[in-house]
Copies of this chain bind each other. A is one copy, B any other.
Amino acid sequence: MSKIEVCLTPALLDLYPIENSIVVVIDILRATSSITYGIENGAEAIIPVMNVEDCLAYADQGYLLAAERNGEVVAGYDFGNSPFSYTAEKVAGKTIVLTTTNGTKAMHLAQERAYQVVVGSFLNLSAVCDYLKKENKDVLLLCAGWKDNFNLEDTLFAGAVVEQLQGDFTVGDDSSVAALDMYQLAKGDLRGYLQKSSHNHRLIKLNIEEDVRFCLKIDVCKAIPVLQGEMLVALA
Would you give the shortest CB distance from A150 to chain B, in whole angstroms?
5
Residue pair B198, A148 in contact (C-beta under 8 Å): no
Q: How far is the CB of A5 from chain B (nearest CB, A)?
A: 9
- Whether B198 lies near A172 (C-beta < 8 A) is yes
A148 contact set on B, CB distance < 8 A? 12, 15
A179 to nearest B CB, angstroms?
A: 9
* Alpha-carbon gap, A150 to B13, bound state (A): 12
User: Is residue A99 contacting chain B, with contact meaning CB distance below 8 A?
Assistant: no
User: A209 contacts the other chain (Cβ, under 8 Å)?
Assistant: no
A32-53 at interface with B (beta carbon < 8 Å) = none
Residue of B nearest to A184 (CB): B185
Q: How many copies, total?
A: 2
* Contact A173 to B147, CB < 8 A, known contacts A178-B152, A178-B182: no
Q: Using a CB-CB cutoff of 8 Å, which residues 162-176 of chain A contact chain B?
A: 172-175
Q: Number of A residues whose C-beta is below 8 Å from B?
A: 26
Q: Is the CB of B173 within 8 A of A149?
A: yes
A78 at the interface (CB under 8 A from B): no
Whether the Cβ atoms of B8 and A11 lie closer than 8 Å is no
- Bits for A3-18, please: 1 = Cβ < 8 Å to B, else 0: 0000011011001000
The answer to whether A111 has its CB under 8 Å from any CB of chain B is no
**A85 proximal to B (CB < 8 A):** no
Q: A187 near B: Cβ within 8 Å?
A: no
Tell me if A228 counts as interface (CB < 8 A to partner B).
Answer: no
**Cross-chain contact of A197 among B149, B150, B174, B182 (Cβ < 8 A):** B174
CA distance in complex: A149, B8 (Å): 9
Q: Nearest B residue to A15 by beta-carbon distance?
A: B149
What are the residues of chain B within 8 A of A116 when measuring CB–CB?
Answer: none
Closest residue of B by beta carbon distance from A197? B174
Question: Residues of B contacting A174 with CB < 8 Å?
Answer: 146, 149-152, 155, 197-199
> How many Å lie between the Cα of A11 and that of B181 in the bound state?
23
Verify if A134 is at the interface (C-beta below 8 Å from B).
no
B149, B175, B181, B199: which contacts A150 (Cβ < 8 A)?
B175
Instruction: Convert A138-152 into 0s and 1s, putting 1 for each residue whose CB lies closer than 8 angstroms to a CB of B.
Output: 000000001111111
List the 4 shortest-distance A-B pairs measured between CB atoms, nearest first. Answer: A152-B174, A150-B175, A177-B196, A151-B174
